[in-house]
Structure 1
Amino acid sequence: MGTVYRARDEFLDREVAVKLARSAASTPDEQRETDAEAKILARLNHHSLVTLLDAGTHLSDTGTQQVYLVMELVAGPDLRERLQDGPLGARPVAQLGYDLAVGLDYMHGADVVHRDVKPANIMLFDYRGDDTRLRAKLTDFGVALIARGPQPQSGTFTGTAAYMSPEQARGETVGTASDIYSLGLVLLQCLTGVPAYPGPALESAVARLLEPPAIPATLEEGFRVLLREMTALEPQQRPSAHDVSLALYELAVAPRARHRQSPPLIPEDEAERMAAVRRYNLLDTPPDGAFDRITALAARLFSVPVAIVSVVDTDRIWFKSHHGTDVEQIDRDPGLCASAILQDDAWVVSDARADPRTLANPLVAGKFGLQFYAGVPLHTRDGHNLGTLCILDREPRDFTDADVRTLEDLAAIVMNDLELRLEGQQALSA
């Protein structure tokens, strides 16, 4: 659908990706179709999707218009390149699949169908640069469509033959379940190292109408069951992206769960809790002076170097305000805040070097050298924990009951501000 270039934003001095869309648009209607990808990307904002930074139209010397998209540059290979080195292990596949499933869950919630989920459209990267946990971002929305909008003419199909769903191959109406089928084929290839339906485009497209993909008996049972459900012939028999994300999370943490006695990191009300997180519209929002003043005040009151207002997302802990550190987010699994939201009172680690709950935590064992943590959950009025207000120190320390009450009061100020903002938004909508 176009050509992507590595480029430099000279004003902000950063590297970006610029996509020039190929178009033969000669009428206003055709031009609107060409503009569709920019409009789809503009309405999406999720850490598992490549972010659109800018878009516009360039008038060429011949007088034709060419759409360009400026996107974040993901510093890593795509999954197609990675699979050239062979299949991946079960846990990395579960982790990458989880990233993609939560991204698709967000997209589908916005009524957007990607229609071209394949290894070449999945970028790999890691937050810390040490390859401890590769992450995935979905890119290239050139053939995406609005699920409730007009569909292409019946009898035609759009996508990549080796990964398209049966309904795509038949040229039928395509919904969100089509992306689930394609993701299932991608995960299966990650585990086996080979595409389920290789060969020329037509033969590949037709093959899935004749028989289901071969799922090796050597795969662990959890993967076999999930992949069979994801690649069901009929769309209505496939699970939702949300259900897929939960299943993959369990597959990712299961190997470690067999070797530890720590509590699970997913609350029982996780679906409702995440709905509350989305209700307050906090994730990936710009810095906010009100919250920055609260973390600065907490740091001064307790004489600690770091204070954070955190929001616990599906697979990461995002810092709405971070006083004393430039880190903006960390993986959810090692995050102390993920443990703090599992209870209704303060979670205090006075000496992390001697506390069995934190000995293996990378913030304790790694370069940061964390030795003290105190966090209180941010309670919503309907009883969900969005995240925490927490303080950190590189020295062990005592934390009294009076200190806990002070930290809880500060957290209450954070939530009071959020509730007032939410009420204001609801009043404007009404």
Structure 2
Amino acid sequence: MDVITLAGRSPQASDAGAPRLRGRYRLQELIGRGGAGSVYRAHDESLGRDVAVKVFEASATSEKDVRRQEDEVNLLAGLSHHSLVTLLDAGVDRTDAARPRVYFVMELVTGADLKVQLEGGPLTARQTAQIGFDLAEGLQYIHHRGVVHRDVKPANILLVRYSHGGARYRAKLTDFGIALVGAIERRDTDNVTTGTAAYLSPEQARGQTLGSASDIYSLGLVLLECFTRTIAFPGDPIPSALGRLRSDPHIPPGITPEWSALLAAMTSRDPKDRPSIDDLVVAFRQMIAAETGRHRDVVAHPEPSTEESRLRAVARYRLPEAPVDGAFDRVTAIAARVFSVPIALVTIVDHDRIWFTSHHGLEIDHIDRHPGLCASAILDDVPWVVEDARFDPRTLANPLVAGDFGLQFYAGVPLRTRDGHNLGTLCVFDFEPRLASEAELATLSDLAAMVMSEMELRLQSRRSKTALESAPPAPS
């Protein structure tokens, strides 16, 4: 539903002469139109409040359409979440027996939809993270109830500010007219895939079975548009739908590495490579914190990094202590998939050990520092790549290469702090020689930035907790 907000009332009719549904809801101005129905601002004369009323056109009264409308009523009636538009009432108006009108009564959300908002300019990264968090929470709620929305797009995202002059948008997802209960979707009988072409997931464009990952892909396109104000796959429905089957959406280089990595994961063509909705909620919560503190705790003139100062930085982040919630495990799993390798690690280089705080495909959790390739990878600020270790003079004597382990390929990116210290690496291993493309190394760098963002977030959280605990008690 393309919902818009109008500045004033429509001159079509006065309140006295405006049509009423079932003698209760007096329709006022049209505020949106799309699909099979229209949305009006209306006044509930029983409770004395303004509401939004979605009325389906006469052409939408076939048995199939009525059944779908009843499904939407039953679906919405059972959902209650702050990120979803609330259904208040529903029914059929039979004032004109030849033209019954199905209608839904919903809360009236004051504010523009995201489509209109983006026409006025791009959003900040912090605003985008906040909107992403709201929508991810809403999708998490419906996905856990077996519901797939199938039409996540800017026009179906309503924005509201709860304080005058505040920059915080709260996002609400609306229009469940084509939502799917049971997380299974097949093509309609007329062989047309349901949804909006520009925001379809690849599996939606193919008419395949849908699950939570489909909405996650669409949300990724929406959030990318928040940065670019450009539809990733524009054009007529068929070329637009086919575009995402051939290529990934273009993510401009001006977007930060953390955002680039997250958006790329959300819009992966393979649903299995997309983050789960639960992980996405956590990621956006972290993004909000990172964007809020992005310009804090930055040293204007960082000291030259020495081994002594680097080890102090390792201690500052309480490393090599690994996050007990496995926060880095998804990053290493993605890195392994990107390179198609069996092993990916997040490593911390201590004074005498190399610790594996996440070790995808490997059981051990540390090795001695001397033979470790990661000890060499932290010496520079660029990726350190060994494409064939059997013939690379840097690695010929390395026990991981010459010994039973049989390492033949290594690529590592340093985990660099804001004040210029390399703590360790995000790296991948293989037992066969291979090349590393620029695109793969760029993705590895983006994932390393996500690891550092998580480390910074945890550091800030510990500092805030310490400050709160050490603050003097409030006077009684």
TM over 0.5: yes
Q: Is the 8 A contact 2:199 2:218 kept in 1?
A: yes
Match of 1:199 among 210, 235, 240: 235
Distance in 2 (alpha carbons) for counterparts of 1:34 and 1:112:
15
Q: Is the 8 A contact 1:197 1:213 kept in 2?
A: yes
Distance in 2 (alpha carbons) for counterparts of 1:241 and 1:198:
26
Q: Is the aligned partner of 1:211 residue 2:250?
A: no
What secondary structure is seen at the aligned counterpart in 2 of 1:179? helix
Aligned positions of 1:211-360 closer than 5 A: 211-258=247-294, 259=296, 350-351=473-474
Distance in 2 (alpha carbons) for counterparts of 1:205 and 1:119:
17
How many aligned residue pairs are there? Answer: 280
Q: Is the 8 A contact 1:157 1:169 kept in 2?
A: yes
Indicate the larger mover: 31-40 or 163-172: 31-40
- 1:268 CA drift (Å): 7.9
Letter in 2 for 1:70: V
Q: TM-score by structure 2 length?
A: 0.54
Letter in 2 for 1:98: F
Give the aligned partner of residue 21 of structure 2: none
Match of 1:45 among 69, 80, 83: 80
Distance in 2 (alpha carbons) for counterparts of 1:193 and 1:148:
31
What secondary structure is seen at the aligned counterpart in 2 of 1:35? helix
Mark the CA change 1:208 to 1:26 in structure 2 (over 3 Å): closer, same or farther. closer
Q: Deviations over 1:284-327 (max 9, x none)?
A: xxxxxxxxxxxxxxxxxxxxxxxxxxxxxxxxxxxxxxxxxxxx
Distance in 2 (alpha carbons) for counterparts of 1:35 and 1:243:
33
Distance in 2 (alpha carbons) for counterparts of 1:91 and 1:26:
45
Letter in 1 for 2:166: D
Match of 2:135 among 93, 100, 106: 100
Distance in 1 (alpha carbons) for counterparts of 2:234 and 2:184:
32
Distance in 2 (alpha carbons) for counterparts of 1:349 and 1:61:
71
Match of 1:78 among 113, 119, 131: 113
- 1:169 CA drift (Å): 0.9
- 1:109 CA drift (Å): 0.6
- 1:348 CA drift (Å): 9.2
**What are the ranges of 5 or more consecutive residues in structure 1 without an aligned counterpart?**
262-266, 272-337, 352-396, 399-430
- 1:150 CA drift (Å): 6.3
Letter in 2 for 1:128: S
Q: Is the aligned partner of 1:128 residue 2:146?
A: no
Distance in 2 (alpha carbons) for counterparts of 1:132 and 1:178:
30
Letter in 2 for 1:198: P
Distance in 2 (alpha carbons) for counterparts of 1:116 and 1:156:
14
Match of 1:170 among 206, 209, 212: 206
Distance in 2 (alpha carbons) for counterparts of 1:148 and 1:184:
19
- 1:246 CA drift (Å): 1.2
- 1:128 CA drift (Å): 2.3
Q: Deviations over 1:112-165 (max 9, x none)?
A: 110000000000002223323111000011110113466444843011001111
Distance in 2 (alpha carbons) for counterparts of 1:242 and 1:171:
25
Q: Deviations over 1:393-414 (max 9, x none)?
A: xxxx42xxxxxxxxxxxxxxxx
Mark the CA change 1:184 to 1:347 in structure 2 (over 3 Å): closer, same or farther. same
Aligned positions of 1:147-158 closer than 5 A: 147-148=182-183, 151-153=186-188, 155-158=191-194
- 1:60 CA drift (Å): 4.6
Q: Is the 8 A contact 2:126 2:292 kept in 1?
A: no
Q: Is the 8 A contact 1:147 1:176 kept in 2?
A: no
- 1:346 CA drift (Å): 10
Distance in 2 (alpha carbons) for counterparts of 1:268 and 1:142:
41
Distance in 1 (alpha carbons) for counterparts of 2:244 and 2:43:
42
- 1:350 CA drift (Å): 4.5
Calculate the aligned-residue CA RMSD, in Å. 3.1
- 1:250 CA drift (Å): 1.1
Mark the CA change 1:176 to 1:230 in structure 2 (over 3 Å): closer, same or farther. same
Letter in 2 for 1:243: D
- 1:24 CA drift (Å): 3.5
Indicate the larger mover: 56-65 or 195-204: 56-65
Give the aligned partner of residue 148 of structure 2: 113
Q: TM-score by structure 1 length?
A: 0.60
Give the aligned partner of residue 276 of structure 1: none
Aligned positions of 1:170-189 closer than 5 A: 170-189=206-225
Letter in 2 for 1:188: L
Q: Is the aligned partner of 1:69 residue 2:112?
A: no
Q: Is the 8 A contact 1:77 1:123 kept in 2?
A: yes
What secondary structure is seen at the aligned counterpart in 1 of 2:158? strand
Distance in 2 (alpha carbons) for counterparts of 1:218 and 1:148:
36
Identity %: 49
Q: Deviations over 1:30-59 (max 9, x none)?
A: 532221111111111000000011111112
